[in-house]
Structure 1
Amino acid sequence: MLTILTVVIFVITYLVIMTEKIDRAVAAGLGGVIMLVVGIYDVNKAFLSYIDWNTIALLFSMMIIVAITSKTGVFEYVAIIMAKAVGGRPIPLLLVISTLTAIGSAFLANVTMVLLLVPIILTIVRMLNIPAMPYLISIIIASNIGGTATLIGDPPNIMIGQAVEHLTFNAFLFHLSPIVLLIYAVVLGYLIILYWPKLKKNQLDQVTLSRMKASHYLKVTAALPKSLGVLCLTIAGFVLNPILHVDLTSVSLAGALLLLLLTENEYKPEEVFKQVEWGTLFFFMGLFMLIGGLEEVGIIDELARGLVFYTEGDLPKTSMLILWMTGILSGFVDNIPFVAAMIPVITEFQDYGMTNLDPLWWSLALGACLGGNGTLLGASSNLVVAGLAAKEKEPIHFIEFLKVGFPIVVISLAISSVYVYFRYLIHFTT
């Protein structure tokens, strides 16, 4: 009975979020609280086990750093430089911003990259009077694809790397970057074709663009070098994570607190806190509580373990099923708890005589990361972009993103299937 009740609460809440009749943070929070009230789990378990405070703290910290840095005008400065570099042309701008997002997401983590780039692209589209939506959706898509390439690019990869000792940073780069480059090239072409009619109609005011002076927007005060210095130090901490062995959350918290301390005279902390995307943070908390309910009653674990019985230990079949099942489900259910449930299941395959589990790990990583493009709720970076866009009156609607993202997931998984089969599985089918 409790299992049925959990599923009902989850489905109804999800439908409310999809229809956007109620603010998504309120809807998710309400669904999570209802699970507490009906006794699916208690508040201690919610706060100590199911809400991922590492993710919340990382987002909060980076929001503070971005909020303070944005006050210096540096985002406007970079925006004008980029706009002038492509001559204000919408399609080259889409190509540049998407590629920058993908590369940055591989080495800085996709959530961090979108927090840095979304304010820049929103500034550019306002200046050039072009639609924001193609760029916002492209940033989301590129962040999830780029984050797939490395160990630190996306949380599921970090979890897999921590669970399997020999899957190092270089291993992820060697095995996943080739297919990520191919998928990105195909998807970028698809996005350009998709948005070409909308963007080519925009006649840019070249006179206005030529008159824009990037230096006019830069506020050269004591806060400028402090903000850029702390931002660079924080990013360096992320990049050097494999060497320093300091987790990303600790690095971001240290950076945020240091910047608050250094700029206290210029920007009061209470004013900075007002710019934090509190709605996005509370939405994450509600979503973690909803997924926690599914974990509590064993639904996610049963889905994972059912895989063992269905495939009967056949490696090629298991690998393909993990790839597609993880890819599709990751669009609708947060991929972090699903990957957490799958890791011990894949490890158990050794008991079925499998000596080489690497194809399963790569299938899990590809499915979890690429599947995040399926819906607006599929990955952390999606929600962060949506929160930043909503604040600037550029809301990304669930169905609008679904129409673009889900076909891209199918394309990505199809290409991944061919790659995994010919690189890892063909020898097991002959």
Structure 2
Amino acid sequence: MEHAITHASHGTTLFFTGVLILLIVALALEEKIHAKKSLIVGLFAAALLLLDGALGLLPFGPITLPNGHTLNMPVYIEAIDWGVIAIIIGSSIFVDVTSRSGLFTWIAIKLTKLSCGDPLKLLWYYGLMTVVFSAVLNNVTAMIIVGSLSAVSLKRLQREEQLLGFLLIEGLLTNIGGLLTLISSVPNIIIGTTAGISFVTFFLKASPYVVVATAATIWLGARLFKINRLSDAEEIAAAKQHVAGFDENDGIESQRFFWFGAIMLGAFILVIATTSVLPVVSSLGMGYVALTFALIMLIRYKHEVEQFYKAVDWDLIGFFMALFVVIHMLEYAGVLDLIGQGITRIIGEDGNRFGVGALLVSAAGFSSVTDNIPLAAMLGKILAAQGTAGDSSLWWSVIFGANLGGNLTPIGSASTLVAVTIIHKHNLKLSFGGFVAKALPFAAMHIILATIYVLVFL
């Protein structure tokens, strides 16, 4: 290294904590300052890189690889989670190309006909699909697929005004579904591995909460967004007649490409769901899988692939890249350690009921504004250092808090941010503050239910 890393002073850490608060405020005022999220966070990332570097907090110089070779890589490159970026780009392109086969329209119309045109039934179908997809895929891919299907269904039913409610509910449900299995989210893997929780034990303990929280979310969402069942006999008959006229084969231009798209979608879901156990592929990661499937689908349009690159939301990509850099800089400045110290004081040494509940709420609060992956890793280390037993409810407090905190703000998880991006893609207005206001009742309900469940049943 060119120079040693300087340990951040307490004053420096507090200053950078203030910068984090300022960033949250700037994002909340996004519409008032007329700037895109990527630009706002990008400016903060550039400023924090300069500050961290000037204060000697960053490691500079070549990185030595296991084979003895050196790699000169700027610290902001290392800060970015390229796996997440690859998943978003690959999934977006894969979904956009696959949609040209007519497959998503076919699925959407099938579900719409199954609902008989009843909006509430359709919400339940898509809500349950979101939870299942989030459990077996990653949350971002689940949101991209289900969000696309929802838009098609509601357009067919001429109920586009309800799309905002559908997408917001689905975005929140991705984080509920992410609790279902040990491999559904990275925090689950980190905490589950550290605590020694098996796959079966994790599923058995998490599934009752997921079932209750899913039902409660759809029920509350239906009421808040006025997504009601058809009750009038004439209205029901008219809706049935309306959907009966839908032909799911309308959007299929080539039966061969349709079946190819169907097979590839099934293979995509299967490979993504089993990535962690596949030889070689497990090392390459889900991002590799998403990009590879996207490339395979692009072969169908090999002379005009540039049109599909436009399907990628580059503002979203820029936002995530900058956000990863910001979080990395805050970590070097000791902000995450400060959060960890505060949580350690909250827990106490005896792990009493108050500490268990407070840990869950605190983890949810912090994961709503910072990446839940380093937060989960840090809390896992703290609990392990304290000799916390594997069956302690403290581990579950971190698992629930880290996952559910993503429902508090649009930057709390990748899937909620993707949901907001899809909302904007369909010209529906929802600011940072607007998301918080609409999501707060759901997030509060999720955290209260989780706290009761962990304290009483785990």
Deviation per residue, 1:29-87 (Å, 9 max, x gap): 12111212334547822211x21111111222211211211121221221111111111
* Cα contact 1:109–1:152 (8 A) shared by 2: no
Give 1:168's aligned amino acid.
Answer: S
Q: Which residue does the alignment assign to 2:440? A: 406
Corresponding position: 1:66 with 2:103: no
Q: Which residue of 2 aligns with 1:266?
A: 301
Could you tell me which residue of structure 1 aligns to residue 395 of structure 2?
Answer: 361
Q: Note if 1:305 corresponds to 2:341.
A: yes
Tell me which amino acid in the other structure corresponds to 2:416. N
Give 1:4 deviation, angstroms: 4.4
1:376 aligned counterpart, secondary structure? coil
Structure 2 counterpart of 1:159: 190
2:347 counterpart of 1:326: no
Deviations 1:146-202 (A, max 9, x none): 1111112222112223434x2232221011111221222222222222222788799
Q: CA deviation at 1:382?
A: 0.5
Matches within 5 A, 1:87-106: 87-106=116-135
Does the C-alpha gap of structure 1 residues 169 and 209 become closer, same or farther in structure 2, counting only changes over 3 Å?
same
Match of 1:283 among 319, 327, 330: 319
Q: Is the contact between residue 291 and residue 337 of structure 1 (CA under 8 Å) also seen in structure 2?
A: no
Pairing 1:111–2:140 present = yes
Q: RMSD across aligned C-alpha pairs, in angstroms? A: 2.6
Instruction: Give the Cα separation in 1 of the matches to 2:285 and 2:445.
Output: 36
CA spacing shift, 1:290–1:329, aligned 2, 3 Å: same
Contact 1:145 1:369 in 2 (8 A): yes
Q: Does 1:247 align with 2:282?
A: yes
In structure 2, the partner of 1:37 is 50
> Letter of the aligned partner of 1:73 in structure 2?
G
Equivalents in 2 of 1:144, 1:374: separation in Å?
11
**Is 327-336 or 33-42 further displaced after alignment?**
33-42
Kept after mapping to 1: 8 A contact 2:130/2:170: yes
Q: Structure 1: which 5+ residue stretches go unaligned? A: 425-430
Correspondence for 1:138 among 155, 169, 177:
169
Amino acid at match of 2:324: F
Distance in 2 between the 1:220 and 1:422 partners? 55
* CA distance in 2: counterparts of 1:58 and 1:243, whole angstroms: 18
1:3 aligns with 2:13: yes
Instruction: Find the residue that maps to 1:133 and give its secondary structure.
Output: helix
Match for residue 379 of structure 1? 413
Displacement after TM superposition at 1:236 (Å): 0.7
CA 1:201/1:368 → structure 2, altered by over 3 Å: closer, same or farther? farther
Select the residue among 384, 387, 394 that pairs with 1:347: 384
1:182-197 mapped onto 2 (5 Å cutoff): 182-196=212-226
Supply the distance in 1 between the matched residues of 2:356 and 2:322 (Cα, whole angstroms): 32
* Inter-CA distance 103–248: structure 2 relative to 1 (3 Å threshold): farther
Does the CA contact (< 8 Å) of 2:410 and 2:416 recur in 1? yes
CA distance, structure 1, for counterparts of residue 106 and residue 86 of structure 2: 28
Aligned residues with identical type, % of pairs: 24
Shift in Å, 1:98: 0.9
Q: Which one is further off, 354-363 or 201-210?
A: 201-210
Q: What is the SS of the residue equivalent to 1:272?
A: helix
DSSP 3-state at the match of 2:74:
helix
Label 1:196 to 1:259 Cα distance change in 2 as closer, same or farther (>3 A).
Answer: closer
Q: Deviations along 1:246-285, whole A, 9 cap, x unmatched?
A: 4396345245335524542435332221211221111111
Distance in 2 of aligned mates of 1:109 and 1:186: 22
More helix by share: 1
What secondary structure, in the 3-state scheme, does the structure 1 residue paired with 2:249 have?
helix
- Whether the 8 Å CA contact 2:182–2:203 is kept in 1: the answer is yes
How many angstroms does 1:360 deviate by? 1.5
2:350 maps to 314
Gaps in structure 2 of 5+ consecutive residues: 1-10, 61-72
- Counterpart CA distance in 2 for 1:55 and 1:227 is 24
Alpha-carbon deviation of 1:135? Answer: 0.2
Matched to 1:153, the amino acid is: S
Q: CA deviation at 1:222?
A: 4.4
Which residue identity does 1:235 align to in structure 2?
Answer: I
Q: What is the CA distance between 1:109 and its match in structure 2? A: 2.4
- Shift in Å, 1:221: 5.2
CA 262–419 in structure 1, closer or farther in 2 if over 3 Å, else same: closer
Letter in 1 for 2:285: S
Normalised TM-score (structure 2): 0.84
TM-score by length of 1: 0.89
Count the aligned residue pairs.
Answer: 419
Contact 2:272 2:289 in 1 (8 A): no
Residue 336 (str. 1) matches residue 365 (str. 2): no
SS in 2 for 1:20: coil
Q: In 2 relative to 1, CA 7–168 (structure 1 residues): closer, same or farther, beyond 3 Å?
A: same
Residue matched to 2:25: 15
Structure with max Cα Rg:
2
